[in-house]
Structure 1
Amino acid sequence: MVELAILCAAYAISLFYRGMLAVIAPELTAELLLDESRLGLLASAFFISFAIAQIPCGIALDKFGGRLTIAAFLLFAVLGTLLFSVADSYSLALLAQSLIGIGCAPVFTGTMLFIGRCFEPLRFAYITALVISIGSIGDLLGTTPLALLAQTIGWRGSMQLIALITGLVGLLCFFGLGSDKPSNSDETLTRMLMGMASILRIRSLWLLLPMFLASYAVLMAIRGVWSGPYLADIYHSDPAERGLVLMAMSVAMALGTFMLGWLDHRLNSTKLVVLASAMLAVIPFVALAFFPRTSVWFAMWAFVLIGLFGFNYPLLMSHSRTFLAPEYLGRGMAVLTAVSIAGVALIQAISGWLLEWGAAAQLSLPEQYRLLFTMLGLTLLLASLIYSFSRREGDKDQPSVRILASGKIAVASS
């Protein structure tokens, strides 16, 4: 349907922004005089603001619907991209990244909410994976096409072109999406905020939270920021070669998302598929930790495997949504998205600090990246261990959360 196509376009723009720094990071680092910790924080600024903005986004989605919320927020992304294109200092680039993160904040949550309202629960993971696979075109555009464009008109000119495209997508959302203002849109702000806070009181979700924090975070630590510097530092790759390697990883992410959604649909065991995919994603991190300097092709295939098995976020959301009352899907998904994106910001900031510490300790570049890959692999392994004790999805006695007329929180849990 037309609405899904428009939301795919918006999601593609959001994915582009999440991974664009990996391609232009070496040039950006040289021009703005960034060290590893500053680059890590610059990359995490998008995700920090993205996570914080989930609070107003969740409220807006439940009160005004996706059409107005996504279109309005994308204006911040346009402003941030234009500011980024003229940034001549680290602080200005940091502000620009934060505005872009705010602008993209409601896109994925709004898309999932739309799917949740239009399709039955059993098809949620499959349809979500399909939309993500199509939207991954944006991730692909942030690889070789961005590298070639940056070589032709510079990274600043590239950002100005992207700002124009983002504005056009925002207009498509405003004029092309149907009105989806919820029936409970007359709720007070206090009750909405209480509804968001109460999501984290659902005990069945607690063992899922570490996986929300870690799974997407370790994937984006590679795809979103450190793959570019790693390829440049270890193999002296130029922008075209970096773009080619990242394109292969992005294709693997798109195919892997669809593959995991298909497996979930066939096996009807979301938890099993999530666990298996996470453990398979740990293997290439182990390989990179043991062999941080082999060849560009070895690194590419390791990144491909991480992309193929690492993006299990739609399945995690499918698992968790069975614990949420239907009228609080918007806020529930926003809270869980905030947790996931906060994990990305945290891991990227920590990884930047770790690499800077390795440089200060006079470790060689391969040893510095060995530390990075070890940390990311152990983080995902620990989260998988905790997740393995979570409740299986689809139980008939799923907990739900509701806000009573009195304003009190009612949480049912086993």
Structure 2
Amino acid sequence: MLLALISGFALSQAFRTITAILATGLQAEFGLSAQALGLFAGAFAFAFGGMQLFMGIGIDLFGIRRTVLTAFPLTVAGSLLSAWAPGYAAVLLGQVLIGVGCAPAFLVCTVFVARYFAPQRFAMVSGVAMGLGGLGMLFTGTPLAWLVQQSSWRMGFVVLAGLALAAWLLIFWKVHEPAQPAHAGPRESLGAAVRGFGALFLLPHTLGIMLLALVTYASFLALRGLWLGPLLIERHGYSLVQSGNVAVAVSLVSLFGPALFGRLDPGPARRRRWIVGCSVLMAGLFGAIALLHSAWMDVGGAIAVGVLSGYIVLQYADVRSAYPAAMTGRAMAVFTMAMFLGVALMQWVTGLAASIAQARGADPYVAVMATIAAMLGGGVLAFRLLPAPRH
């Protein structure tokens, strides 16, 4: 069942990283500015993140299977709308629909692992799940770049729509949750479920966890899903397929990062220090990409970011241990919401930074990478200085 759920997560990974390859085609057809391109990339993440609370409530009230099967058809609809979009507004709406449809894709995997695996195996199993889900990013590297170069960016959406439909059918076929025991008590009401989410924000350690969540995955996805292709094409003269090859390399190494960090998980006593150290190192890599202007640094730094991004599984393990078992599903939903609202925020802010830099005749990619490094630094300070959970 977990592998079937991961297929939906893999498709969501593909959808959230398409902009790096489709960017030049979208800009050419619709005349998009860097800021408009950032808004396009952020629309998916904003819709995805904004729906996490509702998906968490849906999972609590109706279960994993019904929630994902109800939402995921919107992914197919949004893909087809984007493929035949007459203008920028329509393709933006398509991104929103795709984001809503994919909203439960990763959450159902983490909740499934939290419910059906022992707590001490959570980091390892969820790390493997994240790694397998990252296979979806491989399609948005060289294969998508070749497809777009041979046809158009619209064909990319058509193929993704077909793959999304196949994932929905696989989940429909394979995922069947155990029946609720008779002694489990009455189903929680909608109002009680909403109040349960509110209780999370009354705990003093929630703020620091969520502020760091806003920027960690967002930094990786801003690079891999939005700026990597334009950076290599415009700064170093790479072709679309060459930049796609680099994207595949970044995606490949990112597959192994979560499983690696899941196995290296030092446990609750030292986990938060690892999270701080990895976040600082990530900020340093973006600072180097901003300042060194070297093709070797840009490619090597992107690959290093791909490996290091796996430490996000330690953040999930931190959330798993920071809240009581009864709040696990809701805590995961709120954390995932923060991550993807952070993706939307970072993609919009970096698009704005690039537009301002271009207007002033400066290198837009220096502005983009320095902005990401600064946002990571702010998140680390919040995580380090605000109250920590009492284990």
Using structure 2 for the length normalisation, give the TM-score: 0.94
Q: Structure 2 regions of 5+ residues with no counterpart?
A: none
| Aligned counterparts, 1:175-194, within 5 A | 175-180=173-178, 183=184, 186-194=187-195
- The CA distance in 1 between the partners of 2:148 and 2:291, in whole Å, is 34
The one-character-per-residue Cα deviations of 1:49-91 (angstroms, maximum 9, x if unpaired) are: 1111112201111111111111221100000001111112110
Q: 2:370 aligns with which of 370, 374, 399?
A: 374
Say whether the 8 Å CA contact 1:67–1:180 is kept in structure 2.
no
The one-character-per-residue Cα deviations of 1:180-231 (angstroms, maximum 9, x if unpaired) are: 5665672211111111122122112222122101111111111111111111
1:284 equivalenced with 2:285 (yes/no): yes
| Structure-2 change in CA distance of 1:201 and 1:266 (3 Å) | closer
Q: 2:98 aligns with which of 97, 100, 124?
A: 100
Q: Give 1:226's aligned residue.
A: 227
The one-character-per-residue Cα deviations of 1:156-192 (angstroms, maximum 9, x if unpaired) are: 1221121011011111112210125665672211111
| Aligned counterparts, 1:129-278, within 5 A | 129-180=127-178, 183=184, 186-264=187-265, 269-278=270-279
1:81 equivalenced with 2:98 (yes/no): no
| Structure-2 change in CA distance of 1:222 and 1:200 (3 Å) | same
Give the CA deviation at 1:4. 1.6
| Structure-2 change in CA distance of 1:184 and 1:169 (3 Å) | farther
Give the CA deviation at 1:327. 2.9
The one-letter code matched in structure 2 to 1:263 is L
| Structure-2 change in CA distance of 1:186 and 1:311 (3 Å) | same
| Aligned counterparts, 1:260-409, within 5 A | 260-264=261-265, 269-291=270-292, 293-295=293-295, 297-363=296-362, 367-389=363-385, 395=390, 398=391
- The CA distance in 2 between the partners of 1:181 and 1:56, in whole Å, is 22
SS of 1:203's partner is coil
| Structure-2 change in CA distance of 1:217 and 1:228 (3 Å) | same
Structure 1 window deviating more from structure 2 (136-145 vs 325-334): it is 325-334
The one-letter code matched in structure 2 to 1:351 is T
- The CA distance in 1 between the partners of 2:249 and 2:316, in whole Å, is 26
Q: Give 1:411's aligned residue.
A: none
Say whether the 8 Å CA contact 2:52–2:337 is kept in structure 1.
yes
The one-letter code matched in structure 2 to 1:146 is L
Q: Give 1:402's aligned residue.
A: none
Structure 1 window deviating more from structure 2 (315-324 vs 49-58): it is 315-324
- The CA distance in 2 between the partners of 1:254 and 1:331, in whole Å, is 26
- The CA distance in 2 between the partners of 1:347 and 1:138, in whole Å, is 22
- The CA distance in 2 between the partners of 1:181 and 1:21, in whole Å, is 41
- The CA distance in 2 between the partners of 1:275 and 1:341, in whole Å, is 20
Q: Structure 1 regions of 5+ residues with no counterpart?
A: 399-414
SS of 1:269's partner is helix
The one-letter code matched in structure 1 to 2:237 is H
- The CA distance in 2 between the partners of 1:181 and 1:12, in whole Å, is 27
SS of 1:362's partner is coil
Give the CA deviation at 1:326. 2.3
- The CA distance in 2 between the partners of 1:265 and 1:140, in whole Å, is 30
Using structure 1 for the length normalisation, give the TM-score: 0.89
Say whether the 8 Å CA contact 2:205–2:388 is kept in structure 1.
no
- The CA distance in 2 between the partners of 1:161 and 1:370, in whole Å, is 34
- The CA distance in 1 between the partners of 2:21 and 2:155, in whole Å, is 15
- The CA distance in 2 between the partners of 1:61 and 1:181, in whole Å, is 14
Structure 1 window deviating more from structure 2 (297-306 vs 183-192): it is 183-192
Give the CA deviation at 1:391. 6.2
SS of 2:71's partner is helix
- The CA distance in 2 between the partners of 1:184 and 1:229, in whole Å, is 54
- The CA distance in 1 between the partners of 2:356 and 2:27, in whole Å, is 18
- The CA distance in 2 between the partners of 1:184 and 1:287, in whole Å, is 56
Structure 1 window deviating more from structure 2 (325-334 vs 9-18): it is 325-334
Q: Give 1:408's aligned residue.
A: none
- The CA distance in 2 between the partners of 1:157 and 1:286, in whole Å, is 36
Give the CA deviation at 1:106. 0.5
SS of 2:238's partner is coil
Say whether the 8 Å CA contact 2:42–2:344 is kept in structure 1.
yes
The one-character-per-residue Cα deviations of 1:116-172 (angstroms, maximum 9, x if unpaired) are: 011111111111001111111111111111111222332212211210110111111
Q: Give 1:406's aligned residue.
A: none
Q: Give 2:35's aligned residue.
A: 37
SS of 2:72's partner is helix
The one-letter code matched in structure 2 to 1:80 is G
Backbone CA RMSD of aligned residues: 1.8
The one-character-per-residue Cα deviations of 1:272-313 (angstroms, maximum 9, x if unpaired) are: 32122212212221211221x322x33110101111113432
- The CA distance in 2 between the partners of 1:358 and 1:8, in whole Å, is 39
Give the CA deviation at 1:268. 6.7
Q: Give 1:122's aligned residue.
A: 120
Give the CA deviation at 1:267. 9.2
Say whether the 8 Å CA contact 1:68–1:174 is kept in structure 2.
no
- Count matched residues: 388
Say whether the 8 Å CA contact 1:63–1:184 is kept in structure 2.
no
Q: 1:66 aligns with which of 54, 64, 67?
A: 64
- The CA distance in 1 between the partners of 2:349 and 2:185, in whole Å, is 41
| Structure-2 change in CA distance of 1:173 and 1:261 (3 Å) | same
The one-character-per-residue Cα deviations of 1:306-347 (angstroms, maximum 9, x if unpaired) are: 111134322112101223232332222111111111111111
SS of 2:202's partner is coil
